[in-house]
Chains A and B, each alone.
Chain A
Amino acid sequence: MDYLLQIIGPLLEGTAVTLKVFFITLVLALPLGLMLAMVRVSRYRIASGVVNGYIWLMRGTPLLLQLLFIYFGLVHMPGGITLAAFPAAIIAFTLNYAAYFAEIFRGGIQSIDRGQYEAAKVLGLSYGQTMRRIVMPQVVKRILPPVSNEIITLVKDTALIYVLAMNDLLRVARGISNRDFTTFPYLGAAVIYLAMILVLTIIFQRMEKRYAVYDE
């Protein structure tokens, strides 16, 4: 018990780092993903193709590699820049997750029946109004399950920032474990991860319930 009290402080500090990366990534990647999806479904062929290539790149290489490249690799590019660990992590996670979100949004948008667009159009709604008022509310209901999945994965993916020597929850746990020759800190980390994901799961279930008021 004393030992637990001793390590809980550092573990919670690690949790704070994990949550910070998680929230900032989420807040940036969701809208970026939505924008990418809108371009992807637009009639602008070239822009849509560029986004398609971008998504391939982001899904086609390991997130770990992207993280390392943005932190260590950008320096060697022409006009190279050096980034601190934290912004490098945020950029890598945002770019990567936006690609996955974009594909989920695209699937959701394309699953909406053409008749919805036509009904909106004959009622005089503009394309923007149709997307905002008619299409996106229905898309949200359909994509909630895959988006929840992705967001839950993000919580755990943040552990990758250890390669940038950032002290997230898992790295802190490993440090203590190595120092004290015990696996107990890993157990503590696991409980904290589970708690975070339980909270997210409850939030998503509530949201799904709210959208369950109508069937399609």
Chain B
Amino acid sequence: MPSTMNDAPMIVARDIHKRFGTLEVLKGISLEVKKGDVIAIIGPSGSGKSTLLRCLNHLETIDRGRIEIEGETLVSTDADDVCRYAPDATVQRICRKMGMVFQLFNLFPHLTVMQNLIEAPITVKGMNREMVLPKAEALLRKVGLFEKRDSYPSRLSGGQKQRVAIARALAMEPDIMLFDEPTSALDPELIGEVLRTIRQLAEEHMTMLVVTHEMAFAREVSTQTIFMDEGEIVEARSPAELFANPQHQRTRAFLEHML
């Protein structure tokens, strides 16, 4: 694992609260992610897993709590319980450290696979095409889709789409990757190829948070597994411990139901 000069954790979240109307979906979540961690977040539907992920990169705004990314404050709450986000430009810059992969891929349908990859590096980072292309080609080779570079997303299978989405996120060279149920929309026979790609990233010590229903994957790949239920973190332990010997009744019930 590469050592870092900066010892600040990649992500620190403290006492995150989030409600949609009267429904409180996150009830005081705290977590810390260190460089190279692969955190699997499991739990029943509606437990707030995806919302937590979406709060970390500002797709949702929190109502209370504090989030720091690589030592920089994204949002904090003062003594008077007023929740304040950093200025827009800062929020944008901080969130750019995180790449995200969605359940429904969200590829840009009007762009080819290659154009999907180079759009953001060119538009956002202002890189020129000649610089981006070799990197994008390398990424497509890495996810095994180089030959699809000129295809439009509609021509790809679900598993291929998701691998393109992963490559697209990596093209922005994020320090952290967030996966929001990356295999939930896939046919069973296509899940493996996507999980293999994510596992490969884990082996390269990419810092990752993966919301998943794939228990075997969570168990094998994660360095820590978090079980969430009803907007709370019930247990956060090494997967070996959590799966073999869950401490809480709720965790046990969920695992029994899933396995």
Seen from chain A, the residues whose Cβ lies within 8 Å of a Cβ on chain B are 113, 115-116, 118-126, 129, 133-134, 137-138, 141, 213-216
> A-contacting residues of B (Cβ < 8 Å)?
57-59, 92, 95-96, 98-100, 102, 104, 106-110, 119-120, 123-125, 152-154, 168-169, 172
Closest chain B CB from A115 CB (angstroms): 4
A123 touches B109 (CB 8 A): no
Residue pairs across A and B with Cβ atoms less than 8 A apart, 10 shown, are A113-B106, A119-B106, A119-B108, A121-B59, A122-B95, A122-B98, A122-B99, A122-B100, A125-B123, A134-B108
Q: Contact: A138 with B110, CB < 8 Å?
A: yes
Q: Assess whether A118 is in contact with B59, with CB atoms less than 8 Å apart.
A: yes
* Chain A residue contacts of B152, Cβ below 8 A: 213-215
Give A16 to B124 CA distance when docked, in angstroms: 46
Contact assessment for B106 and A124 in the assembled complex, using a CB-CB cutoff below 8 Å: no
- Known contacts A129-B123, A129-B124, A216-B154; is A122 also within 8 Å of B57 by CB? yes
With known contacts A124-B96, A133-B119, A215-B152, A116–B124 Cβ distance under 8 A: no
B119–A123 contact, CB under 8 A? yes
A124 touching B172, Cβ below 8 Å: yes
Number of contacts between A and B (CB, 8 Å)?
64
A206 shortest CB reach to chain B, Å: 17
Q: What residues of chain B lie closer than 8 Å to A122, measured between beta carbons? A: 57, 59, 95, 98-100, 169
Cα distance A216–B153 in the bound complex, in angstroms: 8
**Shortest distance from the beta carbon of A121 to any chain B beta carbon, whole Å:** 7
Q: How far is B172's CA from A97's CA once the two chains are assembled, in angstroms?
A: 42
Residues of A within 8 A of B96 (CB): 124
Distance in Å: Cβ of B175 to nearest Cβ of chain A: 13
CB distance from A142 to the nearest CB of B (A): 11
User: Do B106 and A115 have beta carbons less than 8 Å apart?
Assistant: yes
Residues of A within 8 Å of B169, CB to CB, are 122-123
Q: Which residue of A lies closest to B58 (CB)?
A: A121
Assuming A214-B152, A214-B154, is B106 touching A125 (CB within 8 A)?
no
Do B108 and A124 have beta carbons less than 8 Å apart? Answer: no
Given the interface pairs A119-B108, A134-B108, A214-B109, the reply to whether A125 lies near B154 with Cβ below 8 Å is no
Q: Which of B95, B100, B108, B154 contacts A215 (CB 8 A)?
A: B154
Using Cβ atoms and an 8 Å threshold, which residues of chain A touch B92? 124, 126
Nearest CB on B from A113, distance (A): 8
Specify which of A118, A125, A141, A214 is in contact with B124 (CB 8 Å cutoff).
A125
Residues of A within 8 A of B168 (CB): 123
Would you call B123 and A133 a contact (CB within 8 A)?
A: yes
Q: Are A141 and B110 in contact (CB under 8 A)?
A: yes
**Best-buried of B96, B109, B119 by chain A (most CB within 10 Å):** B109
A residues near B153, Cβ cutoff 8 Å: 214
The reply to whether A124 and B95 form a contact with Cβ atoms under 8 Å apart is yes
